[in-house]
Amino acid sequence: MASGNAYDEDDIPRFCERAQQVFKAQSARYFVHGLLVRGATLELWVFERSGAYSSERLDLAQRPDLLLRVLAGSNLMSDEEAGFDSFVLRAGYITFHQRNMFHLRVELIATADYIVRL
């Protein structure tokens, strides 16, 4: 979430860069939700690896409950609704206790820029 009082033309590129950092740090993400609060306006964003899209600017002065509703809704999302790959099982170790199964420790070794620059 980014916030500020006035519209700055650098807001969107900085905001997109933060979403890109999430994709770098969490390689098992399909998409990332984002909120951009500027003054009394709210924009809802979804970032995918191929690009991004957003809602229109929503006026928080006219709908003061909206931000709270959005935050509550995002807190209730499942992992899949939040953009995580549910096929990947996360564990903090490597083990070979069963013949047909093994677990890898999640540790970022290298990363590439997969999201399209806007």
What's the pLDDT score for residue 105?
62
Is the pLDDT at 61 greater than 70? The verdict is: yes
Mean pLDDT of the chain: 80
Cβ-contact 103, 89 below 8 angstroms: yes
Q: What is the dihedral of CA 86, 69, 14, 5, to 10 degrees?
A: -170
Q: Is the pTM of this model over 0.75?
A: no
In the chain, % of residues over pLDDT 70? 68
